[in-house]
Chains A and B, each alone.
Chain A
């Protein structure tokens, strides 16, 4: 929010915060940005349409809590010469392990096919939607509240419907989806899969499949003990590799990619084993001991059934 409020020119910027709390409107003195808090309605997509229409603004952007805008970004946007009705997308930096990396193709441009295949490298906060075109196109599709910006870009984007800035406008998290808070990653991944399934007539696209697998695996790590240990055991050791591969599809290449090998080619690496041990100890820590002991007995019985009998000699 601070990086938004600090943008210039302030008199051209209106900030509306949709909140679940009781609202209070904070009017500031003339010449400063106005922040309005508005109670979020059930159909927030329709609400956004009304706010956009009433605002009289040319552009609309929906940043996430993890976005940090760079100074002067909005000034640059107002100075950009674009065709009337075009929305504008911009590159972002993604924070990974304390460092930041650019996302998207180089040189940056709007790559419709990447989005169509589920590799959305454009952070929602880096998408400046032309309000007039947005309203004429019917606003957001309420079937996809968590991937609303992506859905809109898939509609508005073909054949130069979207222009692009070349300099990054913000820094955000990519866990694994740029600009999507981690808690919303599963919902976002599901909606991206649904969108691209529809576009490709029910074939899982590479980006959607990878994003879904990565979000699922991260979810398993965050909620140990809830899910099948077989599923967790299969996926958890692959989490870092899945994330790296998904980020590679977004054009994000942290230096460790060059040295890392896919986990499946190292069947007995120390990393895999230690990750499995960590997982086991976490599960044991939260599971009732009676259940844990029963599982151990089941494992022993299973091993006895499948392993060959010892040679009597």
Chain B
């Protein structure tokens, strides 16, 4: 019987060209990170959850299986669940509901919730390889945004770390260390259960739910520790680029990611069934696991 992996990496998405080249960025980042994790001897699994898939388009979960055969655990959540939970017609992708689905099904001792266009730095790999992570500590990283012009194909550390690649940094501050937190939240599996996952009570928006999790962790007394940085390629739909535009109305009320003016520092208590944990799954021949609707 195969031993459980040390690390589970939870990524979510769908085949919707988010940011212009969502799929290609996902493949490039996953190949890079997976190769480096293997080289460092870090036993890991990737878990992908597709939420509210686009009709008449192939599932991204299937495309991943074809392109990256080592990526075995891929889920597709029936769009009916999106209809079931959503209270905002403009919110097309409930990212953190999808991430909860992945968290609840992860097998690793430690679970890293991240995003599909994040490249791990050498120092993060070194920390993971040392296997000295503590339980009941939320690990965070500084996100460094890189210029999209440098391209992400054939990526190397020398390009990631080069000063010419740099666009902006997303500085962290006490007590929540929450800036751009959705790109790196690393916690042991039991502590994820203890936090109750991401907020499923507030449903009007997905923005700032990552910060909400950081505040929840802080409230529960989990220390938050910064262990290095990760790299993110800038794209046109990045919140940093759209946050200050006028196109989405006051407080982003019309945005596809939902309103931004809710109090994310407040607490929440998810139902015990968070992450669709009680739903019976169905596997298909291609290796994709379906989570049928309510």
Which B residues lie within 8 Å of A202 (CB)?
Answer: 166, 169
Which B residues lie within 8 Å of A296 (CB)?
Answer: none
A81 → chain B closest CB, angstroms = 15
The answer on a CB contact under 8 Å between A203 and B171 is yes
The answer on a CB contact under 8 Å between B133 and A201 is no
The answer on a CB contact under 8 Å between B123 and A160 is no
Interface range for A? 10 to 19
The A interface, classified by DSSP as helix, strand, loop or mixed, is: loop
The answer on a CB contact under 8 Å between B226 and A116 is yes
- CB neighbors of A among B163-177 (8 A): 166, 168-169, 171-172, 174, 177
Which A residues lie within 8 Å of B229 (CB)?
Answer: 199
B12 interface residue per 8 A CB criterion: no
The answer on a CB contact under 8 Å between A158 and B144 is no
The answer on a CB contact under 8 Å between B166 and A113 is no
Number of A-B contacts (CB under 8 A): 45
Chain B, Cβ-Cβ closest to A205: B171
Chain B, Cβ-Cβ closest to A113: B226
Chain A, Cβ-Cβ closest to B228: A158
Q: A112-B227, A113-B177, A113-B226 are in contact. Are A160 and B132 (CB under 8 A)?
A: yes
The answer on a CB contact under 8 Å between A203 and B169 is yes
Which of A113, A201, A203 makes the CB contact (< 8 A) with B174? A113
The answer on a CB contact under 8 Å between B134 and A201 is no
- Interface flags for B194-229 (1: CB within 8 Å of A; 0: not) read 000000000000000000000000000000011111
A159 interface residue per 8 A CB criterion: yes
The answer on a CB contact under 8 Å between B142 and A160 is no
Which of B130, B139, B144 makes the CB contact (< 8 A) with A161? B130
Residue from B134, B166, B228 with most neighbouring chain A CB atoms (10 Å): B228
- CB neighbors of A among B213-261 (8 A): 225-229
The answer on a CB contact under 8 Å between A159 and B166 is no
- CB neighbors of B among A117-175 (8 A): 158-161
- Separation of A203 and B166 alpha carbons in the complex (Å): 12
Which of B134, B169, B177 makes the CB contact (< 8 A) with A160? B134
A208 → chain B closest CB, angstroms = 12
Which of B134, B174, B226 makes the CB contact (< 8 A) with A112? B226
- CB neighbors of A among B90-144 (8 A): 123, 126-127, 130, 132-134, 139, 142, 144
Which B residues lie within 8 Å of A113 (CB)?
Answer: 172, 174, 177, 225-226
Which A residues lie within 8 Å of B172 (CB)?
Answer: 113
- CB neighbors of B among A14-40 (8 A): none
The answer on a CB contact under 8 Å between B169 and A159 is no
- CB neighbors of B among A167-204 (8 A): 199-203
Chain B, Cβ-Cβ closest to A198: B163
Which B residues lie within 8 Å of A161 (CB)?
Answer: 127, 130, 132
The answer on a CB contact under 8 Å between A200 and B169 is yes
The answer on a CB contact under 8 Å between B123 and A201 is no
The answer on a CB contact under 8 Å between B142 and A200 is yes
Which of A83, A112, A158, A201 makes the CB contact (< 8 A) with B169? A201
Which of A199, A201, A205 makes the CB contact (< 8 A) with B166? A201
- Separation of A144 and B195 alpha carbons in the complex (Å): 41
A181 → chain B closest CB, angstroms = 30
The answer on a CB contact under 8 Å between B171 and A200 is yes
The answer on a CB contact under 8 Å between B168 and A158 is no
Chain A, Cβ-Cβ closest to B133: A159
- Separation of A158 and B228 alpha carbons in the complex (Å): 7
Which B residues lie within 8 Å of A199 (CB)?
Answer: 142, 229
Q: A112-B227, A113-B177 are in contact. Are A159 and B168 (CB under 8 A)?
A: no
Chain A, Cβ-Cβ closest to B169: A201
Chain A, Cβ-Cβ closest to B146: A201
Which A residues lie within 8 Å of B226 (CB)?
Answer: 112-113, 116, 158
Q: Interface of B with A (CB < 8 Å)? A: 123, 126-127, 130, 132-134, 139, 142, 144, 166, 168-169, 171-172, 174, 177, 225-229
20 contacts between A and B (CB under 8 A): A112-B225, A113-B174, A113-B177, A113-B225, A116-B226, A158-B126, A158-B227, A159-B134, A159-B227, A160-B132, A160-B133, A160-B134, A161-B127, A161-B132, A199-B229, A200-B169, A200-B171, A202-B166, A203-B169, A205-B171
